Amino acid sequence: MKNALVTGAGGGLGRNICAEYLRRGYRVFGWDYKRSAATDELEEKYDGSLFLSAVDVGNYPSVEQAAAELSACTNSLDVIVNAAGILPPNSAMQLPDFDIDASLAVYNINSLGPLRVIKALLPLLKQGEDKLVIQISSEAGSMSSHMPHYVHRYDYCMSKAALNIQSIILQRYLKDDGIRVYLIHPGWMKTSMGGEQATLEPSVSAACIVGLFDGSNRPCDMYMDYDGTPRGW
């Protein structure tokens, strides 16, 4: 049985990614700083295949402890999906009202969180069969395709751009171990972050994302939309 680790497992996209891997026969370890009724229901449905843990990816001791507990359950991971992310209300403010120092929390979760997770779980990932890292990024982090209507969201956009360059550096570092790193723009989804006016169900995005990589073939591009369409850096 293959093993997948998904952060942000309590959110709309993360929970659906967990569900998609479970449907495909994976054993899934879901990390989030809090539990929800929806994830509890999923754990009950897939008893023995889904294991949820309260983990704060913004705190390295929390990640280290969870990694140690995970190592007691398995000696390998096939895929890590870093789906944890935050978009605070302050992000909607334009520059005169924007709290710059509050941006540190966004960087801590969106940019440094994935790096903490990969660092802590790298020994398990090296022992996996698929050796795959999927980073949930955004079109907001693209320099070339950044939406022109953005005159705010400094913290969120900059944190995703930081995640993108982080992933390039990671890929260079990990390629000799056979590990592949990908960045995915998941689309504008109907989640607590995207809002009800969004056009895409998170279940559809999750199914497409998992389907892109669940097989022997790997996409040639590193940065892409949820449906595999390459995205400009």
Query: Is residue 230 one of the residues assigned to a domain?
Result: no
Q: What confidence score (pLDDT) does residue 73 get?
A: 95
For residue 59, the domain's CATH number is: 3.40.50.720
Query: Is residue 232 one of the residues assigned to a domain?
Result: no
Q: 9-58 pLDDT, tens per residue?
A: 999 999 999 999 999 999 999 999 988 888 899 999 999 999 999 999 99
Query: Is residue 231 one of the residues assigned to a domain?
Result: no
Indicate if the alpha-carbon torsion angle 66, 72, 73, 75 is positive or negative.
Answer: positive
Query: Is residue 163 one of the residues assigned to a domain?
Result: yes
pLDDT of 150 above 80: no
Query: Is residue 124 one of the residues assigned to a domain?
Result: yes
Phi, psi of 2 (to 5 degrees): -80, 155
Q: 198-209 pLDDT, tens per residue?
A: 889 999 999 999
Return the C-alpha torsion angle 145, 163, 138, 231, nearest 10: 40
Q: Which domain holds residue 124?
A: 3-225
pLDDT of 149 above 80: no
DSSP states of 176-209 as a string? GGT-EEEEEE--SBSSTTT-TT-SB-HHHHHHHH
Q: What confidence score (pLDDT) does residue 82 get?
A: 98
pTM to 2 decimal places: 0.96
Q: How many domains does the chain have?
A: 1
Q: What confidence score (pLDDT) does residue 151 get?
A: 85
